[in-house]
Amino acid sequence: MVIPPPVRPPTLTKFLKPYVLKMHFTNKYVSAQVIHSPTATVASSASSQEKALRPSMDCTRDVAAAAKIGKILGERLLLKDIPAVSVFLKREQRYHGKVKAVIDSMREAGIRLL
């Protein structure tokens, strides 16, 4: 049985930024996903674990892989007609290195970042 996400009142939903970028970095892989906040569903995602992407990457965990993941995620978002995404960094994340590579490559793909 699937439990649906809680329904938020409309007065609160209009103040939320609807699409949020979440990034996750491990010692082996880079992954990023865009979540639709009001419905708590994943709008689009990209990861260096995907079988189609692995042969084209030399390393699946460095800054170049993070830039490629950001570019692919940006293209997937444009295909779904999502022009803008808001970014909330975790406490330990800074706009540097892999985080910067993902965000900048999404910006180059044509996604506005709020």
Beta bridge partner(s), residue 19: 36
Does 37 score more than 80 pLDDT?
yes
Q: How confident is the model at residue 45 (pLDDT cuts 50, 70, 90)?
A: very high
The residues, any chain, with a CB within 8 Å of residue 83's CB and separated by 6 or more, are: 77, 110, 111, 112
Does 35 score more than 80 pLDDT?
yes
Does 3 score more than 60 pLDDT?
yes
61-83 mean pLDDT: 94
Does 12 score more than 70 pLDDT?
no
Does 16 score more than 70 pLDDT?
no
Distances (CA, A) of 108 to 12, 71, 102: 32, 8, 10
pLDDT the model gives residue 114 = 83
pTM for the model stands at: 0.83
Q: Show the beta-strand stretches assigned E in 4-88.
A: 19-25, 30-36, 41-47, 84-87
pLDDT the model gives residue 5 = 76
